[in-house]
Amino acid sequence: MTTSPATASPYESLPWTAHYPQGADWHAPIATAPLQNLLTRAAEQYPSNPALSFLGRVTSYKALADEVDKVAAGLQKIGVGKGTKIGLFLPNTPTFVVFYFAILKAGGTVVNFNPLYTIEELSYQIRDSGTKMMVTHDLQALFPKVEELVATNVLERAIVVPFTTVLSPLKSVLFRLVKRKDLANVAGSRIADRVINGSTLSKSGYTFRPVAIDPSEDVAVLQYTGGTTGTPKGAMLTHANLYANTMQIGTWARELVAGKECVLGALPLFHVFAMTGVMNMGIAKAAKIILMPRFQLVEALKLIHSEKPTMMPAVPTIFTAMLNFPNLKSYDLSSLRFCISGGAPLPMEIKLRFEEVSGSKVVEGYGLSEASPVLTCNPIEGLLIPGSIGPPLPGTIISLRDIDDPTKEVPQGERGELCAKGPQIMKGYWNKPKETAAQFVGDYLRTGDVAIMDPNGYFQIVDRIKDLIICSGYNVYPRRVEEAIYEHPAVEEVTVIGIKDAYRGEAPKAFIKLKAGMKADKAEIIRHLESKISKIEMPSEIEFRDALPKTMIGKLSKKELVAEEAAKRNRA
């Protein structure tokens, strides 16, 4: 295990350290090691503790670590070695956790794939990453895509784990009887000769050969992201990056007790937030991880009520959905002690209401794929600053740079592009040296987000540079307009984008979803905004919808709305 000391700051002092959580030290060295050591240590220290809970089946830490060792040996037998790229095309099931750590232990690199991707999107990512094999389940929602990719030689082979093998014996029988149509016929597939039965890999009888890992250089995960340009790129997250970020979060959440916690895994593990915040962090704390194949509101509430999780990483829309559920009082949420919100801005109203209902602390963090992902987080106890994403995590430096000239820092209190460095920052983009160079200024990662820093060293995201709306030459930040609209009591969700405007060049347009049973019209929203934002920021159009587009993790998404508006202009 190695440690990396905190690096020097461009600021004369570190304003955030004066308001750090008690017991946390920004200057403390951050430990790094091969990422699979998290599981090895948890299994050694808490062998009989439950590690995974999945649809009634519970796996202990010892059983999980043993299975990982056996699968790692099986992977080595079929040719997986140092740097081999293996894709995970899975929902949240025990298979994801087992193969994630088995691939790392065998020396390979995990490539996460979104199960909702199209064949075209999957093909691009497979070819770009050099993924050789894909791990999936024999489900109709998954296998046909992998089958097509193998049949067209985009993939060499597929590792298919029968879904019934991850269920409890009773549920396995019931699934075969009741949901047989949901299972794909892998044995009769046109690619059957290139399919490896994933459930037999652990029974290969092959002896595992330890692989030397250089945490700082060896890439553990290729995490694909659109970054600030929208072009998918593979962020090379090393073992050191991911291990360090897990340790940083653990230092921040000092109230969590190893071997005593339980985390709700409602977010998809293929997304970097859940990969680190649910899986890696949960295992680092030897917590019981409750895996949900996908987020379903009522099922999530039932699991919180029955399994008593103490931690819940989530996106704001999950908190909002729970708060607006008519029968919320039927469920006991009091076991929750620590909830971290990420992926999108957390309205203060939602934070305070959820804390009141559950008794849990809800803190907003900030990060991105290129940072493994967490850069900043509000402390569980300490200053409460509305709209803040908190101070930097230990060993992390945030520097705000001039938007037009990122080599220059902006004075404290002024808007600037948030740039960061620390042990969690990616090695670079896979096979994209030019894009990597453009994403850094010196050794600082450019995030593409506009932020300000207050005198306490707490940061607030103003907007994304690419979302900036230029109205009559003035900068309009959609997030500011959204926050003002959220203050209307009838508004549940809102997204603001820029649209073409004959007079102003661009103008804001707001898309609003109202709370169930509540009413509002455009005139009322405008009256509400008149005292809150300037005339230049006022939306030129307001459209009410029953639902707003979201990403796979439940984050409100702008790109669909931008595409719709562009299509309207093209037809006009």
Please give the domain boundaries of the chain with CATH numbers for all domains.
60-214 (3.40.50.980), 468-571 (3.30.300.30)
Distance CA 84, CA 541 (A): 51
3-state secondary structure of 270: coil
**What is the average per-residue pLDDT within 114-143?**
93
- CB-CB contact of 464 with 477 (8 Å): no
pTM of the shown model? 0.86
Q: Is 180's pLDDT higher than 90?
A: no
**Which residues does residue 4 pair with via DSSP β-bridges, in sequence order?**
30
Q: Which two tokens stand for residue 421?
A: 């460095």
**Which residues does residue 499 pair with via DSSP β-bridges, in sequence order?**
507
Question: Of 92-96, 173-177, 385-389, where does the model show the most confidence?
Answer: 92-96
**What is the average per-residue pLDDT within 343-359?**
89
**pLDDT confidence tier of residue 12, bands split at 50, 70 and 90:** low
Using a 10 angstrom Cβ sphere, with 0-12 exposed, 13-18 middle and 19 or more buried, the burial of residue 441 is middle
DSSP code per residue over 351-414 = HHHHHHHH--EEEEEEE-GGGSSEEEE--SSS---TT--BSBPTT-EEEEE-SS-TTSBPPTTS
Residue in this structure with the two tokens 């409602």, named with its chain if needed = 266
Share of the chain above pLDDT 70, in %: 95
**pLDDT confidence tier of residue 500, bands split at 50, 70 and 90:** confident
* Peptide bond before residue 144 is cis, with ω within 30 degrees of 0: no
3-state secondary structure of 123: helix
Q: Please choose, from the candidates 155, 103, 119, the residue with its C-alpha nearest in 3D space to the C-alpha of residue 111.
A: 103
**pLDDT confidence tier of residue 555, bands split at 50, 70 and 90:** confident
Query: Across all residues in the chain, what is the average pLDDT?
Result: 92
Q: How many CA atoms lie within 13 A of 223 on its CB side?
A: 29
Q: pLDDT tens digit string along 39-60?
A: 999 999 999 999 999 999 999 9
What do you get for the CA distance between the two ends of the chain, in Å?
Answer: 62
Q: Is 14's pLDDT higher than 60?
A: yes
Amino acid sitting at position 45: Q
Q: Is 343's pLDDT higher than 80?
A: no
Q: pLDDT tens digit string along 65-80?
A: 999 999 999 999 999 9
Helix (H) or strand (E) holding 475: strand 474-476
**pLDDT confidence tier of residue 4, bands split at 50, 70 and 90:** low
DSSP code per residue over 502-520 = TTTEEEEEEEEEEPTT---
Neighbours of 548 (CB within 10 A): 18
Q: Is 572's pLDDT higher than 70?
A: no
**pLDDT confidence tier of residue 228, bands split at 50, 70 and 90:** very low
